[in-house]
Structure 1
């Protein structure tokens, strides 16, 4: 958790303080109920109304602040996770980036980040909140009746034991759901990418049949994951209701033997929620935390660029590129085998060959989109040269001339500062050249 909040420590501690404050106000509700019945505050309706209104005002303020600040914290963490991910991906070379399918990356930014926020962060904050409530509620009940507190703790222990049995099943269901979502996103992406070919080749039914399979898998994994959690939640809710009524029956027995007053029993009944609900919910929250830990670790690992650092800063013009020995293969098929080739500045070279002979691969290697040994730029080993400084020294036109997702001006300037007059002259010159 501290890795996630390291940039938001102040906000995190404010959230914890407000969670504690909310638990204190919740305990005051139990104390107020006990005093109303035992200290005869009912005899003064005006005093009762004033006290209740003050309490409701404090409750509204603390509750609203607590929920708002926690929501702000979760959104800050979501922002940081997304930022770390896209900065990490942007810093990778093209070959490293293309090792992942785009649907897998989309799944990370959307579903996996949400799983971390909803299952891990929310559960961690809820566990803290429930722990504070458990401590305060137990102290209050113990002060009035140790017997009832021991009874509640025993029942809660049984509930935790029941929930812990299903921990591994919850974890497995969560991971299966994420895998199904990733496959579904991949199928939708393929529909968008291949739509023209699907229509031209009249393959709508074949493709829809494949989508039906992935859609069905997603439906089943979602139902298995969420439905199983709902069933456990219902069981826990039943146990908590049974514990509440058993507490009342236990308290009535103690009243009969003059061990409790009616007001004290009502206070205990109210405070019992601060003991019953934390322990009943703790098992589910712990399982959600455990199931989301692999997802969190995966996101944290992907946020760290694992590429080798390129220490050589290339701060000179390119005079020549020497290829002493370049060999590149796709699997067992060798695509390139070049020796003693020199590319000099200012000269023109023609690269010809059939489709698949390695023309694009050769250009990808020269532009460091793919890694290979045996290439030297100004006698410096290309694989050790920092790409950002090397890339500024050459330009090329790719065979896929897609516009970047920027404005018209940014597509021309590529992020470089240029006056509007210079830009206008450049566009005019290019149009005249055409």
Structure 2
């Protein structure tokens, strides 16, 4: 957190000045009040007039100082929060897929929205009051040393005692704030899951059950928030009680020391400055606890992944000849999926991946695409261990087409190009090869036609063809296709699969459908049987030598 605050030293210096200049208004106001009280003793009408003028000046000065202080502080607060949001988002976007999938999507949303909003609302308010309180304490002690050395030394000792008492609350405050943050995450996840499955819930008349579950999550969150707020409140009340007792003792000491020949203005100002060494201390520790707990949340959000890009990932993905799989073993959630499987894939060939449901087809694709690296055995691309290949390099060389296509609420062009710039000839090729020409001809704006949320204004086939165009335009070295035709009708499924097989790239596709006259175009069939990989030419597979 310190690194974020000090990144722009000039802005932070302005912020500190904005926090500390308020002390001038504080001292001036207290002195003005002491002067007015002193008039009661002297009964000097001229002194009353001067005191009122001083009070008016201090009031105007306070307003001007507040405006200047806010002007100096606001830019730093805004820029720091923006920096945190950008770094948190960048961290998520640059995660490896294996790291990203360790958390639910809604947890990331909770971090970016709930946690950072909480930080923005509480951290800077606490930081302002902490700096201001420390400044008040320091200046008040210096003034006390001028007014009464004995009292000043006594207040240093007392303030250290109060600080120690307040500090005893720190660990519990931080722990309770972290519990609130975790409850916020669970609440966001629960609500997102409910909304995502709302259609299924309604069809099966399960709304009441999930409403009750949501109410329980809401109740748990609100209870933890209330517990944190109550604990913080009573912590402040207890510290305030100590401050009140000490203030009474200060007044008793000052009056006894002044005796009969006292100056009421000096007495009031001394009491005011002595009290000002206690009240900031009673607030500093609770404020520090708020700072610490909120800083911990941000540091956890921005903390580097333990399993991020590894030092040995130093090679580029270069696939010109073959991918060799040797003695590959992998278990998912302690359930064996592959066991000492071996296979060789040749560049440019089209492979149909078959196997029973749950046999590990998608897992096999994930292993080839670096989603998982905790396997035994070897996967070598032209002799290079896949584990040593940079994920960015692999992602730049591979394309994926899934059964469930995600489309952005943007133009058809941007959904194909994914916000990159491609030569017009590459875009035209992708459109022609994916069969999008007829779709664009029917749209008045062509490529600039807007797509509604996740393609609601498109048919399933049109969505799939945009996904194919998105894959083609990247000119991938290898293409992975996972059940892309399962939800399409016969004629459309045939066209989509024929398009994929016509591409000049290596294809590994999962499909349970067989389109006569099209599926035969695959060069080979890979079957996953009892954790092993078995390779058949298409002719062998059609003769019934495979298991399906």
Q: Does the TM-score normalized on the shorter chain lie above 0.5?
A: yes
Q: CA deviation at 1:253?
A: 4.0
Secondary structure of 1:311's aligned partner:
coil
Q: CA deviation at 1:410?
A: 1.8
Deviations 1:129-149 (A, max 9, x none): 322211111222332234554
CA contact (8 A) 1:164 1:283 kept: yes
For structure 1, which segment, 116-125 or 12-21, has the greater mean C-alpha deviation from structure 2 after superposition? 116-125
Map 1:394-413 → 2, pairs under 5 A: 394-404=398-408, 407-413=411-417
For residues 147 and 343 of structure 2, what CA distance do their matches in structure 1 show?
91
For residues 406 and 146 of structure 1, what CA distance do their matches in structure 2 show?
71
Distance 1:298-1:282 versus aligned 2 partners, 3 A rule: same
1:306 equivalenced with 2:312 (yes/no): no
| Selected match of 1:90 from 80, 90, 93 | 93
Secondary structure of 2:331's aligned partner:
strand
CA contact (8 A) 1:152 1:243 kept: no
Q: CA deviation at 1:50?
A: 5.6
Per the normalisation by structure 1, the TM-score is: 0.85
Instruction: Note the residue ranges of structure 1 that are not aligned, 5 or more in a row.
Output: none
1:21 equivalenced with 2:21 (yes/no): yes
For residues 64 and 331 of structure 2, what CA distance do their matches in structure 1 show?
67
Which residue matches 2:381? Answer: 377
Q: CA deviation at 1:65?
A: 2.8
User: What is the aligned-residue RMSD (CA, Å)?
Assistant: 3.4
Normalized per residue, the structure richer in helix is: 1
Map 1:208-247 → 2, pairs under 5 A: 208-244=211-247, 246-247=249-250
Secondary structure of 1:282's aligned partner:
helix
Deviations 1:285-318 (A, max 9, x none): 233345446434423424787331421123x564
For structure 1, which segment, 391-400 or 96-105, has the greater mean C-alpha deviation from structure 2 after superposition? 391-400
Structure with more contact order per residue of length (Cα contacts < 8 Å, sep ≥ 6): 1
Which residue matches 2:329? Answer: 327
Per the normalisation by structure 2, the TM-score is: 0.69
For structure 1, which segment, 42-51 or 386-395, has the greater mean C-alpha deviation from structure 2 after superposition? 42-51
Distance 1:319-1:194 versus aligned 2 partners, 3 A rule: same
Aligned length: 432
1:263 equivalenced with 2:269 (yes/no): no
Q: CA deviation at 1:49?
A: 6.0
Greater C-alpha Rg? 2
Distance 1:368-1:269 versus aligned 2 partners, 3 A rule: same
Q: CA deviation at 1:413?
A: 0.6
| Selected match of 2:347 from 345, 348, 353 | 345
Distance 1:80-1:40 versus aligned 2 partners, 3 A rule: farther
CA contact (8 A) 2:337 2:359 kept: yes
Deviations 1:241-275 (A, max 9, x none): 454455445444444432x4111123234434532
1:128 equivalenced with 2:134 (yes/no): no
Distance 1:139-1:231 versus aligned 2 partners, 3 A rule: same
CA contact (8 A) 2:6 2:12 kept: no
CA contact (8 A) 2:319 2:347 kept: no
For residues 273 and 409 of structure 1, what CA distance do their matches in structure 2 show?
68
For residues 215 and 376 of structure 1, what CA distance do their matches in structure 2 show?
50
